[in-house]
Structure 1
């Protein structure tokens, strides 16, 4: 371990520590250029002192306290006192955030039950020490890139902690989120096997993973109505503010139960008890026809025909359903052509899990071709199906099925404040709260973290934060972090593109990382107006653009 003394402690505040740098003298202290050389087995190693994000250690009674530099300042050393006594004031002060203890055996442990006191010595930290700490913590050799301030050091993370306890990739537009996601998943794809589902909102990742991935156009992916549970179906059909809503709900549940139980195919499945949530095929039109009959039913009365008990009770419900049935955008839900039997459910899950004849490690579901109001229903159903599959897989196999779901642009459909996002948000919140027990992982990707469900983000134990300059978003992320890490959020606005600060359970200590460049890169590059507008004019094929727009197909 390095024993190069650079200064002393001058203030301890619980969640931060102030130190004063000593002037350079032989083999201690820090020169004016802030660069020191420490002796290692490989020879002298230059280290820049005071750079926010770098590490130092402080002598304490049970070893060394490892800290990160979060700030540096100069103080005026002029003594304006009228007394004749001369006071030597510190002029270079660093603020540190403590993270853990390095014991006498050079083993790192998060946290500390002892803090330093005034005049405790502060030491430089060698790259070998940092490498040992990262290597001992990470599971395997999974790395996202290099440490920004120690480019020779791999940024090793514990992948199990990132995925099993959920994570968030946050950053403003242009900060490198797509770059980071592509690089992250390309590294996962290098493992012997994986099951990753990426909800791609803008069609950016189609060509980013080569043969490792299966690409699914969501507009051609059938997610049939009979996969929905009773509550999801009622949300599509019933307006709960309507006076007839209780009758509509009660009758629908009765008819749904009967339709599922009486269907010939389902009777051959040997299911002991089929209920309204059992994922088996039923004839939706059969139920609607019964609603229509009851809605117009006339019965014999003492003075001739009169309206039946439910006459007129379902008119609005039928109007709402008919509007969706007549909307071609909902065909993938209400008019399935492929998955229209209970037996076909197996083929559907093989497709969305990448478990077809040639298994794929990543499944990209491109949501860009489908409209927003349909998109929310599709995502809700996908997330709920993924959770239920993992739940029942563990029940019968007594081990988890590791499934990682990456939600791109999550603020658009897991929104805390948008009522139209409710169904998708509730499905994601269930995974966030219970998924860890069954191997279902959720990774949130967003440029507007304060709009994402607070319940989901509160369950994320790792935050990969790229550049965030918006003060409101910075403040929101700051509230998600422990008080001891709050000061680190001040670095968010100075991060380069593709550079992040990783905080949480998957990394031994907060780490500033330069993400490895993905190869190939996603289709998310900014348009170069200058370059494009300096090229000769080319005639635009406007009719082909309009034709694709009308057909909703490129």
Structure 2
């Protein structure tokens, strides 16, 4: 006997005890975090000690009275046949004076035994290291799970341990890890394939319209007009590829079944040619600047070497089956895990890639009628589903939320790993029925975890800030009773670590650093295979040749304006430094080729003429600069003003465009 109950409520009890002659042996058995038993008839109520205090607030050499605050967790019931079993409910509460004593080892086994055949041992109990800590893997996977903890407490090691146990318990399980730090490839050398930027072929046509817009607009909000144009033209490009006809405006019977979100291949050459075809129309002149800007965005994305995994040669064919089979490991063989490394993917594309993978994982499980059991593990999940609804990428949030809310019905599970649960969308966290809480120092993060667990085990989380490395408090569907455990050690070859990172004490750590080699690797970005896009140039030239003459002239004039824009921005700083007018406009006033002095429609060349030296320009001032009016520099740049262009027209037009004083000037 250790003490007696002196107070009891519906969830807690107060126990009084006495330590004789100043001994601490008794108090050691009552230490905070340990389970104790309270005898109530034939049953034994199980309680967790979470607070201790002496009556006199001191500790003397004589007898010392002290009190223990305990939280009631359940009871060990004795059946009519004498069989004992643990239940989370309490049929009879402790009465005043009930005897409290040290818990039996057999009771600990009954409490933490999941009672199911598929239980797996993942560590040892902190209270008694001779007792295994076991969880029920199917229950953990069927309703999602989460691992939270500060940096350096062992989350990645715990993930490696749990996933190894999961694939052992369910050989049909397929695991996709979104790995932002490229560290899980080392944890599964025998069971995983690694997909990085060098081995990745993720076709652009697998993206939905919002995901593709995220790539084109580099993470900025898309322009509504350009998005509407893409919504109209992408289905046309898809029908052109699917029909196998060179005509871009082919009408097929499948028109209603193809949208901008349908995962059907199409060529960027067809999309660019459709944009050019719209530019060449007589009607809709107001949308031509929008079309030109959209075309420049598409070409810029194609030519960006960082997007090579989207626009390579392999992404032009219909490779959806090969892509899905490789990423989601179907059939997978002896490598059921795919570690998708996101560290090398451009930051403005990571959200789109994560959205594609999570969305396809759900659709794969949905349309296979549950034949595929998929687990999606999101490392640093607060990046994809932040608590602030204004942050993050909406399609990614929707894809992960759909897995969290509906995934268990179709056989797709979610594993959430985060070091900041306070920054994670609480809807996602609330869907995780099994939670492993490791050390958390932030008060807000601790409060979030307290709000996610049953009221009967709130006191358990008072230890969150003092847990050791590798320790966790586990509770939820996969655990019968919340338990404090220490994860089993993982073999050295299965420890997660970033690529190329060595241990601090390793003998292989180099003493010197070749800075030149480091800088060379920073700059080594593979150039895109432009040969794959030769059809784009051919189709664009062909579509351009079909434009009307005035549209071609307008295009050339726009090219001249762009050159003048770039030149004006380059000379503006030096111009202001030289003491000239400070009100330099954003760009010099351009002239179309047919408006240059002395030009006529018969002898004006298109684009080159825009850069020739016009008459009336001070050749001695700067012979290499493009033509620009003196008014563009405020009129005080020391330049002779350009003569107004002479254009043929009616007498009325001539009079309206000439100064009134010139009508009375005999010299004019």
Deviation sequence 1:152-202 (CA, Å, 0-9, x none): 111110112222211111111111112211222233343461312222221
Aligned counterpart for 1:256 among listed residues 226, 234, 248: 234
Deviation at 1:235, TM superposition (A): 4.8
- Alignment-derived partner of residue 155 in structure 1: 133
- In the other structure, the counterpart of 1:131 is 109
Aligned to 1:290: 274
Task: From the superposition, tell whether residues 371 and 253 of structure 1 become closer, same or farther in structure 2 (CA, over 3 Å).
Answer: closer
2:438 counterpart residue number: 466
Question: Hey, what does 1:85 align to over in structure 2?
Answer: none
Aligned counterpart, 2:189: 210
> Does 1:325 find its partner at 2:321?
no
Distance 2:242 2:401 in 1: 36
Counterpart position of 2:448: 476
The more displaced of 56-65 and 184-193 is 56-65
**Per-residue CA distance 1:355-395 (angstroms, 9 max, x = gap):** 3674412221122222322222111111111111011111x
* Residue 312 (structure 1) aligns with: 289
Question: Matches of 2:90 and 2:300 in 1, distance apart?
Answer: 62
- Residues 318 and 488 of structure 1, relative CA distance in 2, 3 Å threshold: farther
Query: Structure 1 residues 59, 295: CA separation in 2 closer, same or farther (over 3 Å shift)?
Result: farther
Classify the secondary structure of the residue corresponding to 1:137.
coil
Q: 1:361 to 1:500 in 2, by over 3 A?
A: same
TM-score relative to the length of structure 1: 0.81
Number of matched pairs: 505
In the alignment, does 2:383 pair up with 1:412? Answer: yes
Find the counterpart in structure 2 of residue 63 from structure 1: 43
CA distance in 2, matches of 1:412, 1:189: 27
SS at match of 1:331: helix
Change (3 A) 1:74 1:337: farther
Measured against aligned partners, the alpha-carbon deviations of 1:482-538 in whole angstroms (never above 9, x if no partner) come to 333332222012111111111222111111111111112222699877x68x99993
Q: Is the 8 A contact 1:266 1:280 kept in 2?
A: no
Task: Identify if the C-alpha distance between structure 1 residues 23 and 419 changes in structure 2 by more than 3 Å, giving closer, same or farther.
Answer: closer
Q: 2:7 aligns with which of 4, 11, 15?
A: 11
Which of 420, 425, 434 is the equivalent residue of 2:397?
425
Mapping of 1:194-273 within 5 angstroms? Answer: 194-236=173-215, 245=224, 248-264=226-242
- List runs of 5+ in structure 2 lacking aligned partners: 246-252, 527-668
| Structure-1 separation of matches of 2:336 and 2:51 | 42
SS of residue matched to 2:288? coil
Is the 1:56–1:69 contact (alpha carbons within 8 Å) kept by the matching residues of 2? Answer: yes
User: CA deviation digits over 1:390-422, x for unaligned, max 9?
Assistant: 11111xxxx452211211122233323363443
Q: Does 1:354 align with 2:329?
A: yes
Distance 2:132 2:169 in 1: 18
- Cα offset, 1:90, TM superposition: 8.7
CA distance in 2, matches of 1:256, 1:66: 64
Match of 2:419 in 1: 447
Structure 1 unaligned spans of 5+: 36-47, 79-88, 300-306
User: How far off is 1:317 after superposition?
Assistant: 3.8
For structure 1, which segment, 464-473 or 219-228, has the greater mean C-alpha deviation from structure 2 after superposition? 219-228
Q: Please tell me the root mean square deviation across aligned C-alpha atoms, in Å.
A: 3.5
Q: Which residue of 2 aligns with 1:387?
A: 362
Q: Secondary structure at the match of 2:263?
A: coil
- Residues 419-447 of structure 1: CA deviation (Å, up to 9, x unaligned): 34433222211111111111111111111
Matched residue, 1:275: 258
SS in 1 for 2:289: coil
> If each structure's strand is expressed as a fraction of its own residues, which one has the higher value?
1
Moved more, 169-178 or 483-492: 483-492
Question: What does residue range 185-196 of structure 1 map to in structure 2 within 5 Å?
Answer: 185-191=163-169, 193=171, 194-196=173-175
Q: 1:297 to 1:391 in 2, by over 3 A?
A: same
Kindly indicate whether structure 1 or structure 2 has the higher relative contact order, using CA contacts under 8 Å at least 6 residues apart: 1
Aligned position for 1:112: 90
Give yes or no for contact 2:377–2:416 (8 Å, CA) kept in 1.
Answer: yes
Are 1:33 and 2:25 matched, yes or no? yes
What is the TM-score of this pair, normalised by structure 2?
A: 0.68
